[in-house]
Chain A
């Protein structure tokens, strides 16, 4: 039984995600920056996980790439650009602010503006409502006045 357990546990090597101590950078500031970047990078073979969370082998490889680049003094945007060039936009969990993604980033503001506009219109109409008479009513008023 114990043998089966050991074989079983050894056959699926679980790693610790980004917390894996052997991967860490010696400089805590650089490590913190790398960890921050990990949250924006997708583990390409996983369903929907960042490389910060994922225990997959490929996520470990990607973490190593990002850590090496951080260590080499590249900026965050340089690292992102490097990853996109190598793996495509799919690798970024936060899509770039680009023309292609304009719909995604502008739509929230657009929807909010439309909603705000509707509310404004609703309130205005409500305020004017009691004053306005329909055409029929105006004609009736006219008739009534003329009758006198």
Chain B
């Protein structure tokens, strides 16, 4: 019954989003507040209807209603409740419904919080958001309905892949989708502004908060995904340049470029066309990601079930949305007011450079991801493009961007003082170089390239801290003055510093971990030991444990340091899930402040003298925590900027009321 209600609500939401589009579009064109208001109401109603459908799907998962095809294919009675709920978005159909939920949620948010937007721009933006809703909801209803019933009801479900039964993975899709689909708002705002033919500072002030929100949430989503890969897959890596990872990374890169160019458009009125272009591109890349993950055109470790028909439909939807966007852009771009002027040495120029490098990097990721398809179409040759390609192309581009980054926020708008900035920054450069040299001298084995990577990391971190110190006049003015300045500083400034510092921490972690990871693997019988760098590992016991929906062999590994004190009592497991017949390894991680000792229990084999032995694989991953902490700090920086008075949603209106 509840399932039918959900299915009905889903179809209703499609009808409502058609109404949202029509009413808002006509309301905008005829400047009718009544029609536009009805369109806003329809936008909120669409969201509520999708929410009902989504709740019905969660209900079906929680109650293990296997008459629903999607539940039967992806759930199991023995699964813990948390993963039953998460199962609602674990499949293709469910995740598309989540996509629709987020899309209509953003539409409702625009209807709710958009009072300070010019009425016509707002009506058009809501109409376009509605049109996107029509497209994706129609797809969900007709081509991938998650609430479809089965005639032949199975007694038990087929369960979710055990690798996916994990908290980080369970919560990362909502963040990812909130990010991906958040770019739909800037897409709608751009298209609406292009229809109106006016892109200016006021428009950019509206684009910024949505971009910040989408980008920050996407950052959290990608970081959670990388963290999951790190501790769940048991190979110790966190990024593999897999097509699906790239699919999430491209909108992130373009989003980062958009964040910066929107500042220029807001503060200086410059680059309006380019900012609008990036806004269209960001959502296009989000849709491209949805297509790549679901169509099966690229082989990937984590693609959804392959279905060519759905792939074609998704490709058509992407083509339609992107085609309409870029066509209008092409027609209107020439007539946009180019806005404020600036000199080659200025903050605008620094941001343009940032944008060129980020866009080029995105193009490289796109090309690398699609190249196997291109080459196959060209001469039928099957090729692979993997991590080594991206290390040689993407990484240098980013290093170039990082090299100039600390100068950016220190430069003045319009006309910057290169010498002044150099006078401020030389100390950071000197300190970063010194720390890099120390690392080169002290850390064994000696690695020049990785030490260089550390210099870049320290340069970013130091540059961010120096910029903040400069704003606060730290050590140059009395402490009271600095405190007063800190209080008065806009939150956006704190956000910038945090985001750039977080990037520095990430670079430090990535460089250190990649270069100085220690690995050891040996078959151990009970009470055998092996050496892992400075640590000694002893396998003291192996026992059997029974989980809620799995059986496991659990090893006890005692880790001792050079002094012989136990620093870690690790319990890695190998789990067997009888329902699906899969085996997974549950890694044991002993964290310290920055490093991890990472232990994997392998399969049982015959050891010396016929005694049973287990393969124990272990790593010391130095500074690995920074790899996840850095992006998290970046996201927090973004969210703090979002809370800035100037960009906070709806504040503009209240401020205006106070003035009038």
Interface residues of A (CB under 8 A from B): 1-2, 4-5, 8-17, 19-22, 39-40, 42, 46-50, 53, 88-95, 100-101, 103-105, 107-108, 111-112, 115-116, 118-119, 122-123, 126-127, 129-130
Contacts and interface: CB of A to CB of B under 8 A. Distances in A.
Interface residues of B, number: 64
Contact of B381 (A14, A49, A50, A89): A89
A1 B553 CA distance: 12
B387 A50 contact: yes
Nearest to A20: B521
A131 B521 CA distance: 71
Given A8-B551, A14-B585, A94-B386, A115 B522 contact: no
Contacts of B421: none
Given A108-B364, A111-B360, A119-B356, A48 B243 contact: yes
Given A48-B240, A104-B367, A1 B551 contact: yes
A103 B377 CA distance: 13
Which of A92, A93, A108, A118 has the most chain B CB within a 10 Å cutoff?
A108
Contact of B301 (A48, A90, A95): A48
A111 B384 CA distance: 22
A112 to B, nearest CB: 5
Given A5-B551, A19-B521, A108-B393, 20 more contacts: A5-B576, A12-B582, A15-B603, A16-B600, A21-B521, A21-B522, A40-B388, A47-B301, A50-B386, A53-B235, A92-B384, A94-B386, A94-B388, A94-B389, A95-B384, A103-B374, A104-B375, A107-B363, A112-B397, A116-B356
B603 A119 contact: no
A122 B617 contact: no
Contacts of A93: 384-389
Interface in B345-373: 349, 352-353, 356-357, 359-360, 363-364, 367-368, 371
Interface in B577-597: 578, 581-583, 585
Given A4-B578, A8-B581, A100-B379, A108 B397 contact: yes
A4 B581 CA distance: 11
B510 to A, nearest CB: 16
Contacts of A94: 385-386, 388-389, 392
Nearest to A88: B382
Contacts of A40: 386, 388
Instruction: Tell me what chain A mostly uses at the interface: helix, strand, loop, or mixed.
Output: helix
15 contacts: A15-B602, A16-B602, A22-B523, A39-B387, A39-B388, A42-B384, A53-B240, A90-B383, A93-B387, A93-B389, A95-B385, A104-B389, A107-B364, A111-B363, A123-B344
A8 B578 contact: yes
Contacts of A105: 393
A107 B576 CA distance: 47
B353 A119 contact: yes
Contacts of A103: 367, 371, 374
B271 to A, nearest CB: 9
A4 to B, nearest CB: 6
Contacts of B299: 47-48
Interface string B382-408: 111111110011000100000000000
